[in-house]
Amino acid sequence: MLKLLFIADPLENFKVYKDTSLAMMNASHLAGHQVYFANANSLGAKSTGVHASCEYIQIDKKLAPWFKVISTQDLPLHHFDAVIMRQDPPFHVEYLANTWLLSQAEREGAIILNSPTALREHSEKISILEFSEYISPTIVTRSIDEIKYFHQQYLDIVIKPLDGMGGMGVFRVGPDGLNIGSIVETLGEYGKRSLMAQKYLPEITDGDKRLIIINGQAVPYVLARVPQKGDIRGNLAAGGVGQARPISDRETQIALHLGPILSKRGLFLIGIDIIGTSLTEINVTSPTGFVEITKQTGFDVAKFWLEQLERTLTEK
C-alpha cells in the first residue's frame, strides 16, 4: 500500500465527470492505496522540511460531494511514497515558488512527479523548439515587425501568448492581415511580453490531437479535440469536442522520440498536442484527457498511469 499525495487546486472545483486528477486519485483508491490531497496554496517550509496541509480522503464518485475528508494533518512531503504535482497553469510566480519548494522537498527525500526542475525548464510552448523536425514554421518574439514579416511569409498564422491555457488568447490572422497590429499590441503589451506565432494548420478542422505519454510510453489512443464551427481552437475548455482515435504511425514516431528523452528528465506524465502531423505543444503541468479516452475506448488510462507509477516506485 502506497501513501500518495496529490497537490492540486481545490477539490470542490473538480469536474467530477471528466477530471483527470480525480481519475488518478480514484484509480489509486480502488487499488488500495492511501490518497491524500493538498491545496497548492498550502505548500510551505519550516525546520522539519517542506510541508503542506494534507487531507486524507475517501472517494466515492457516486456521492455528492465525491470525497470525504477522514483527517487533516500538516505533514512533510517526504512522509509520502510519491507526491503528484497537478496544480493547473498558468505558470505564474506563485507556481514558480511552489516548484522551488518542491525541489527542496526532493533534497529532503521526497519523490515528486512531475519533477519540479523539469516543470521549470519545460515551457509548454517553447519546449517544442527542441524537436524542430516535428513542428510547423514557428517564431517566438516580442517584435511586432518580426510577426508581421512572418505573416507576409505564410499569410495565414496563429498568434498566442506563452502562458496561455485552454486555448485562451489564441488568434488567427488570415491573408488580409486584419487587426494583426492590435492583436500583437494587446497580447504582447506593446513589446513587454513574448509571443509565439505559428503557420496556421488547416488540419485543425480534423482535431487538435492530445497524445498522452506516461513514463516514456504512449497511450495507444489520442484524443482529437475538434473545434466547433466558427472557432480554430480544439481545446475542450474552449468548446471543442473530444474524439478518441487509435494512435497513428506519425504520432507513434513522435512519441517514440520524445517519450524516453522527456521521461529521463523527470517528466513522468506529459500531454503532447499534434495538429495534422505537426507537434504544437508539450503539456507538462497537469495534462488531461484520461477520462474521455477511457470512456470511448475502454482503455483505462488512469489504471495504466498507476501501474507505471507503481513500477517506477518499485525500481527506486
Catalytic machinery residues: 125, 160, 210, 225, 233, 273, 281, 283
**285: CB partners within 8 A, 6+ apart:** 85, 87, 88, 89, 91, 95, 114, 119, 124
Angle between helices 144-154 and 180-188 (to 10 degrees): 140
Q: Measure the CA–CA gap between 49 and 7, rounded to whole angstroms.
A: 16
Give 291: exposed, middle or buried? Use CB within 10 Å, 0-12, 13-18, 19+: buried
Report the Cα–Cα distance between both ends of the chain, in Å, rounded. 16
Q: What single letter denotes the amino acid at residue 102? A: L
Task: Give CA separation, 311 vs 194, 247, 307, in Å.
Answer: 40, 24, 6
Which residue in 115, 153, 152 sits closest to 263, CA to CA?
Answer: 115
Q: Supply 114's cell numbers.
A: 512531475
The full length of the chain comes to: 316
Contact by Cβ (8 Å): 175, 165? no
Residue with cell 497548492: 40
Contact indicator for 135, 128 with CB cutoff of 8 Å: yes
Angle, alpha carbons 229-169-38 (nearest 5°): 110
Distance separating alpha carbons of residues 227 and 208, to the nearest angstrom: 8
Question: DSSP class of residue 98?
Answer: H
**Are the CB atoms for 284 and 122 separated by under 8 Å?**
yes
